[in-house]
Structure 1
């Protein structure tokens, strides 16, 4: 890729939605404001004007001012190029670890922190493919289908946040993960045929991992203990846990031992009623062949 093409790409990316700072996210605002202030101080310390700096990093002068003013979330490429241009020795580039989290909604960040610490995660999902299992195309189709519709900026922010949670599959030691999905959900081609084939292939890929148990709840089951809705259970190394269910405790997260026992019972019963892991993977393979 030529320098001109690379510069045009960065300028184009700078205008994409999903990189605005959420004014209601106090932590996010603080991070981006601090990073922007440091960028400005370092730029001025080396005697470089905003326009000149923008040329060096491949962005327009207006975008430089937005980032330095804490109005725009800088991309990783921007921070890397700024680090090099300002001879920061990696200090600016290192800010990406905090900056990238600002794109994610506050609730998703909190959920991601819990998932990152959990040694066991169990999810029963009745209306969609569980977020941890979604492909980028499927996640976008699901989020864009919401009514009233989200803004393009919010869609990009939510897609990025959902995909970031998939890092749970890369953890070492690996957590024990189990999922129960409804057959009806697996027959609904959200996003179109190609996107849906990719989603089914992703389910097969994840379902074959040594630390993952993936099950399908068949439509012809005569007894179903998951009619009240979604259930999620997270258990931690210290013996504590947190759970949430649509049809229990006002849908709010709970750590109450009595509540957790109820959720554990419901989830365990649902797993017993679903197809076995082997039968479930065979069923998904069959669906993929029919798609």
Structure 2
């Protein structure tokens, strides 16, 4: 894989680039040994309920600081540029405050950094409980390998595509939860701007590129984004053709995450249950599987040409 963040240029991408915008750890509820000498962490739903835990604690602190400052909720909302209902939702722990709000509120209420100190933890609280450990590792990774079978990987998703994915979830998610999850997913994409650039490899099934999640126009925008991100020298995107007779990925999707400490972790997820593997036998098994998948899939150049071909279809 090629290193560095400089992008590979292609004529169609120059036009697309103007139209598409690239956008304390909470432990899962249970864990057990994986039998391979490593730790297997199992994250299960339900995630934290609104009004409990860290989010509620932040809300109570925000309200106390506002009252101490002698500011009414309506006045505070106007000062911050937020509606009274939104301020109430933050104070009651029904919504997670975004980082910009936290910084501004800390300064406006002369909180002395009390609110800012919770910013990183609140950012992680936006993720479903089963994904929080993986999100932390992903954000610090020096290399990622992602195999996706059903939908475009979250790191590559456009805002419209990601919103459509969340809206399809069953049981249905509340609109506020959808917006929180959406903000968290898009925030993960800051990894593309990190320096030094992490090495990233994505393999996705061809069917993913045909499935019109969110509608035909949303799918087109998603294909454009894949083509654009694939131009980055530190990113390789491969497509697994549907007509392949030999296929090493029938066991389902998985991610491999390399940390700055030299550790490799595997992450799997099915039906909102997740597992993190650190045991060497399991890691080697998935490493081997990923290597075979790369050899069976189209090459990165062939894959981008395939996506470009799909964009030309009507």
Q: TM-score range by the shorter chain?
A: 0.7 to 0.9
What's the counterpart of residue 217 of structure 2?
Answer: 194
In 2 relative to 1, CA 145–23 (structure 1 residues): closer, same or farther, beyond 3 Å?
A: closer
What's the counterpart of residue 253 of structure 1?
Answer: 276
What's the counterpart of residue 134 of structure 1?
Answer: 157
In 2 relative to 1, CA 218–28 (structure 1 residues): closer, same or farther, beyond 3 Å?
A: farther
Q: Which moved more, 1:151-160 or 1:113-122?
A: 151-160
What's the counterpart of residue 66 of structure 2?
Answer: 43
Q: Does 1:281 align with 2:300?
A: no
Q: Alignment partner of 1:149: what SS?
A: coil
What's the counterpart of residue 245 of structure 2?
Answer: 222
In 2 relative to 1, CA 128–37 (structure 1 residues): closer, same or farther, beyond 3 Å?
A: closer
Question: Scaled by the length of structure 2, what TM-score is found?
Answer: 0.73
In 2 relative to 1, CA 209–23 (structure 1 residues): closer, same or farther, beyond 3 Å?
A: same
- Matched residues in 1 for 2:224 and 2:85: separation? 43
Pairing 1:103-118 to 2, within 5 Å after superposition: 103-118=126-141
Aligned residues: 268
In 2 relative to 1, CA 32–286 (structure 1 residues): closer, same or farther, beyond 3 Å?
A: same
In 2 relative to 1, CA 69–126 (structure 1 residues): closer, same or farther, beyond 3 Å?
A: closer
State the Cα distance separating 1:262 from its structure 2 match.
Answer: 0.8
- Deviations, residues 56-109 of structure 1 (Å, cap 9, x unaligned): 445565654553344443345654554554355776567544444433222333
Q: Alignment partner of 2:204: what SS?
A: strand
Question: Scaled by the length of structure 1, what TM-score is found?
Answer: 0.78
What's the counterpart of residue 285 of structure 2?
Answer: 262
What's the counterpart of residue 38 of structure 2?
Answer: none
State the Cα distance separating 1:148 from its structure 2 match.
Answer: 3.7
Greater relative contact order structure (CA < 8 Å, 6+ sep): 2
**CA contact under 8 A between 2:131 and 2:274: conserved in structure 1?**
no
- Matched residues in 2 for 1:245 and 1:65: separation? 37
- Matched residues in 2 for 1:139 and 1:237: separation? 28
RMSD, aligned α-carbons:
3.2
State the Cα distance separating 1:29 from its structure 2 match.
Answer: 4.2
Relative to its length, the structure with more helix (as a share) is 1
Pairing 1:119-268 to 2, within 5 Å after superposition: 119-245=142-268, 252-268=275-291
In 2 relative to 1, CA 121–72 (structure 1 residues): closer, same or farther, beyond 3 Å?
A: closer
Answer with 1 or 2: which has the greater Rg: 1
In 2 relative to 1, CA 93–147 (structure 1 residues): closer, same or farther, beyond 3 Å?
A: closer
State the Cα distance separating 1:261 from its structure 2 match.
Answer: 0.9
In 2 relative to 1, CA 44–253 (structure 1 residues): closer, same or farther, beyond 3 Å?
A: closer
In 2 relative to 1, CA 239–98 (structure 1 residues): closer, same or farther, beyond 3 Å?
A: closer
In 2 relative to 1, CA 64–271 (structure 1 residues): closer, same or farther, beyond 3 Å?
A: closer
- Matched residues in 1 for 2:59 and 2:267: separation? 38
Q: Which moved more, 1:165-174 or 1:254-263?
A: 165-174
In 2 relative to 1, CA 27–233 (structure 1 residues): closer, same or farther, beyond 3 Å?
A: farther
In 2 relative to 1, CA 139–45 (structure 1 residues): closer, same or farther, beyond 3 Å?
A: closer
State the Cα distance separating 1:202 from its structure 2 match.
Answer: 0.7
State the Cα distance separating 1:35 from its structure 2 match.
Answer: 3.4
Q: Which moved more, 1:32-41 or 1:280-289?
A: 32-41
| 5+ long unaligned stretches in structure 2 | 1-44
